[in-house]
Amino acid sequence: MGTVQYRVEPNHLTKPITYKLRFLPKQTVGYDELADAVAKDTGISAEQAKAFLLATVRNIKEMLCNGMQVTLEEALTFAPSFHAKLNSPDDPLPPIDKLLRISVSATRPLVQYVQQNVTLERVGTEEKAPTILSAADTVLLLNNVLNPAGVLRLTGSNLAFDTSKPDCGCVIEGTRSGSEKQTQHASVSDTEILVVPHVPAQDDPWNNEYSVEVSTRYTEHGSLRTGIYSRRLRAPLTVDLAHLGELGAGILTGSENAPHVRVTGCTASATERLRIQVDSSLQENMLAFRLIAMQDGGAVGAMVPVVENGEFTLPGFAGSAVDSMIVAVDNYAALRTMIRNDYGGRLVDILDLEV
């Protein structure tokens, strides 16, 4: 009987903080290690075993491309899957790289075998671990913004990792779906990481909320240690004003499958990037909406109080090409809860308004 190690870690993305179990791999094995094990079990050479493994994976790929589901009894099931939301049956499909995924799931016999043949071993909390204190986009000069066209700067302590190690690095994960290990690093040190972010796609366009974590080993055979940034990052949202339609464009939402707020109309003389800010007032039991410029301390539009679902008109600000914007609040209660619990009372989305 083998052992599976885990560590109890706080989940800072929940309010109040909850705790989760993190699996701690003793090592990462690949084709070579698996081939050695198969060779010992079957009597064939390690080279033959590796060739068989590579051929198996290659044939699984081809079968998936031919629309087949591959089920390896007592092991794994591979199958294409689709992630798309159409407003009508005749809508054009999204690009295939946004639409098509491959699902891999363990069969019930495999899960039962592992459950019956392992014991769990709790590993104590380590004092030294990556700590992310801040995250900012160096192009927009804004905190907690995940800009695909920028450079994300993470600061903190004990952040350095070996970029050649497959289990070490920086991972950006969508709060609803999608995860991407980052591969373009401008610099990596104990106190700072500069990364050109590859932002994973999520299920719906309004799902622009992400978490970021750093994993590292401080010695060659040391335990893998992971630090998660306590704040969520938000990516800019594109709003095509010419094709809003009846549904509008979802904004100011977390991981939900329906937007809390939608842009349903806008009077603008030119394409513009701006921000929409929502503050939660505990004393007055309301939300305050306003449009603001991209620069902190820049121009702001008039505040619009919101206390329930409905449509509201937000005025533009001095120097903006936007005269006014109409937003529909569809889930006031959920929006207010999210802002208070997850964003410290203030939520900001960057909107790329295209006329």
CA distance to 6, 27, 140, 217, per residue, from 227 (Å): 15, 19, 25, 12
Torsion, Cα 99 236 189 166, to 10 degrees, reads -10
Cβ proximity of 134 and 214 under 8 Å: no
Residue type for 342, please? D
Q: Is the pLDDT of residue 28 over 80?
A: no
Q: pTM for the complete prediction?
A: 0.70
Please classify residue 296 by burial: count the beta carbons closer than 10 Å to its beta carbon, then call 0-12 exposed, 13-18 middle and 19+ buried.
Answer: exposed
Q: Is the pLDDT of residue 20 over 70?
A: yes
Check residues 314 and 91 and name the one with the higher pLDDT.
314
Give tens-digit pLDDT for 226-238. Answer: 999 999 999 999 9
Give tens-digit pLDDT for 239-274. Answer: 999 999 888 999 999 999 999 999 999 999 999 999
Q: Is the pLDDT of residue 143 over 90?
A: yes
Give tens-digit pLDDT for 293-302. Answer: 999 889 999 9
